[in-house]
Amino acid sequence: KLSGRLEKVASFITKDATFADIGSDHAYLPCYVCLHDEYARAIAGEVNEGPFQSAKDTVDSHGLSDRVDVRLGNGLQVLHEDEVQLLVMAGMGGALITTILDEGKDRISSVERIVAQPNIDERTVRHWLYTCGFTITNETMIEENGHIYEIIVGDKESGTQTLTEKELLFGPHLLEQKPLQFYKKWEHEYAKRNRIIKQMKKASVPDPEKIAVFEKELTWIEEVLD
């Protein structure tokens, strides 16, 4: 059974797509999608040998080796030019996701949609998407095993989206919809930032600029939770 988190990620994969799942680990996601969509095809990319072997085992055990191609390599280097329409990057930090995207920009000219599920630092991912020609068309949240995850969908669309600093932090769609998990996450983040500010103020050489950034974010959180 696929985790609720990956099931949500899968729900944004277009029907019959040829997609890449980079950092696929066990390749659970591409196998699930291909088992539910007979015309879907996938490339599962992994940089580490252990997960690469696990991915191959999962694919073989489902008899999907003709539709899920498991490849060993760093980031988007496993892709040939114009090979996929859709890219999934889930379960990694936002900074790693954007580094992988930056390093492989020449491989993704055919990509129409990016589905990202950063474990942390969602803001970085939103910033990358909207500065690199992708419009954030959908966002959702899911709580699993005590963690709240955000899923961000970017589509290559004409017209440029402009996002405010606040939208980059909270997510333009999440800010509008404010699902239940949104309140839970940001109440937690509020408390966390409060603690950090207190610690920073106690430091032997406090950094007023950093403190100001956190204080500004505290005000924003107060506003959105209001």
CA-CA-CA-CA torsion for 31, 110, 72, 120, nearest 10 degrees?
A: -80
Residue with tokens 């942390």: 120
Among 51, 94, 118, 171, binds ligand SAM (CB under 6 A): 51
Rule CB under 6 A: say whether 224 interacts with ligand SAM: no
Q: Tell me which stretch binds ligand SAM (CB under 6 A): 10-18, 39-47, 168-176, 192-200.
A: 39-47
Measure the CA–CA gap between 44 and 60, rounded to whole angstroms.
13
Tell me whether residue 14 or residue 74 sits nearer to ligand SAM (CB atom). Answer: 74
Q: How far is Cα 71 from Cα 79, in angstroms, rounded to an integer?
A: 9
**Shortest separation between residue 189's beta carbon and ligand SAM, angstroms:** 22
List the x/- string, 15-34, binding to ligand SAM by CB under 6 A: -------xxxx---------
Closer CB to ligand SAM, 64 or 90, in the complex: 90
As a 3-state breakdown, the chain gives helix, strand, coil percent values, each rounded to 5, of 50, 20, 30
Distance CA 12, CA 7 (A): 9
**Residue whose pair of structure tokens reads 């498991």 in the numeric block:** 70
* Interaction residues for ligand SAM, span 105-124 (CB under 6 A): none
For ligand SAM, the binding residues (CB under 6 A) are 6, 22-25, 45-48, 51, 74-75, 90-92, 96, 100
